[in-house]
Amino acid sequence: MKKIGGDIVRSIPFPTGLSPVQQEATATRVRSALTVTLRGSSTAMRQLDTIKALPGALLREVFGNFTLLRS
């Protein structure tokens, strides 16, 4: 990214001096949070698909048995 320089990257807080056990515990927490986030995102996408399909489903329900009179 053009506007992110080394100074900005160096200013990001990052834990140092963690033991391997602490590193593994941190990685486990991050993986767990990512799993929950992805699961929530997947659920939200399915709900959005359902919401987008609703107008068409309603129209089919209301007008599905409607036949036009032809002259």
Read off the pLDDT of residues 18-32 as tens digits, 9 standing for 90 and up: 999 999 999 999 999
What residue spans define the domains of the chain?
A: 21-62
Q: What is the pLDDT of residue 44?
A: 94
Band of pLDDT at residue 71, cut at 50, 70 and 90? low
Q: Specify whether the CB–CB gap between 18 and 26 falls below 8 A.
A: yes
Q: Specify whether the CB–CB gap between 15 and 4 falls below 8 A.
A: no
Band of pLDDT at residue 48, cut at 50, 70 and 90? very high
Q: What pTM does this model have?
A: 0.51
Instruction: Look up residue 71 and give its DSSP letter.
Output: -
